[in-house]
Amino acid sequence: MPVWFGTDGLRGTSFQFPVAEAPFRAIGFFWGRFLRERYGSSVEVLVARDTRASGGPLTRALMEGLSAAGCRCLDVGVFPTPATIWLAADRGCFAAIVTASHNPYPDNGLKLVGPDGKKVPVEVEDYLEGRLREYVPPPDVLNVRPYGEEAAHRYQAYVTRTFPQVARSDVPKPPLYLDLAHGAAYVLYPRILRALGWSVYPLHDRPDGTNINDRAGAVYPESLLRVMRASAPSDSLGFAYDGDADRAILVRPDHGVLDGHHLLAVLALYAQEQGWRPTRPAVVSTVMANQALEAFLAERGIELIRTPVGDKYVLQAIEENDLLLGAEPSGHLICRSLSPTGDGLLTTLLYLTVWLERPDLIRDVLTSYRPYPQVLRNVPVARKVPLEQVPGLQEAIARARDRLGGQGRVFVRYSGTEPVLRILVEAPSEALTVEVADQLAQAAGRVFGSTEGGPGGEPAGKAARVRE
């Protein structure tokens, strides 16, 4: 039985292998033993989770395994993933986060992070896969210290000293509407932003263990947009986060939903004005990046470097090219000088900095950057067979590309976090984009024998927001 570590850690259905207490206890034990053998007898691991009901028992099982291996656990409790990663780097220790990020409530998962703030290498995940079936340590050892309130104070202090300009009291500040997805940031993010002097109106901030990401947050920002258009002032700003708060999607009542590429465009132009310290005028995104973004940046002397889907690949390209910024359309935005991971609050504060200091730059992006229509279709799959081995699929893709006549692009891949085939179609004409995406999704559905809807109740033929 393999552990399905994907593009962003381990994910699956809660209490089904491998996302169950015994496997998590074993993963904790073998990872802890690996860490002690490599780094010595004194190993600390920050342990955090999101608001899913399954998070409590899974987290305890993980800490039991780590404790049995001789590690000390600092129990942060419910806490955003990026804040946990910052704390780990600040303390120089490891971190384990029990979360399925933007996935729906029945799922859960695990992210393992090193003291450099980066996800553990694939080699470590492979090691854990190989060891999982050997031994499950006893559940009667627990070496844990509560750390939640201290963690919140430390992270808030870091944010406050990093963004003193956002706390200015001499300029008018628009009200902030935050969609917290009933997730890990539901307490921390409003608390910090209010302390910085902003009026905050939270939405979806009542987690009950089962409602995380439920038609809320970064995957469903239309919910926040409806609320803002019904009751928010026209100058208000909205930010929608996902369940573990490493994504942020901007929402404005006068301009609608603005994805991670809009944020990247704004921050790229701002960084260019600041001299691109310490690097050159280029940013990173993935193969999902809109062609219009590439053209918009090129016209302003900024190169766009593309990577495979996944924030770890974005970070890798940022580091390899000695760059500052990278983002995915789903809202993962990495500013290398601040954090090695996407952080919804840092993204928010970066945007607010530009809002306060260069509002004309924001207006320029709003009027000049026009993304080409994109349509994403999700087709459920039972198994992820290599795409080139799926009978009839390549022919269907070729027909779709012929239909576009060189005026757009088709991109097909498996999700790294869910059992679905992602079909992305992009073209200057919205009608053509929808037509080609629908036809290709129907053809793929026949190929894979898919008759059910996509995850979260979305029919395979209905538009879905990019989830990763």
Catalytic positions, please? 101
Give the Cα separation of 247 and 3 in Å (integer): 25
Closest to 352 in 3D by CA, of 125, 180, 200: 200
Torsion over CA of 11, 16, 18 and 21, rounded to 10 degrees?
A: 110
Q: How far is CA 22 from the centre of its chain?
A: 27
Contact at 8 Å (CB) between 264 and 297? no
Burial of residue 70 (CB within 10 Å: 0-12, 13-18, 19+) is: middle
Cis check for the bond before 137: say yes or no (omega within 30 of 0).
no
Rounded distance between C-alpha atoms, residue 146 and residue 51, angstroms: 17
Place of tokens 């607010």: 352
Contact at 8 Å (CB) between 288 and 246? no
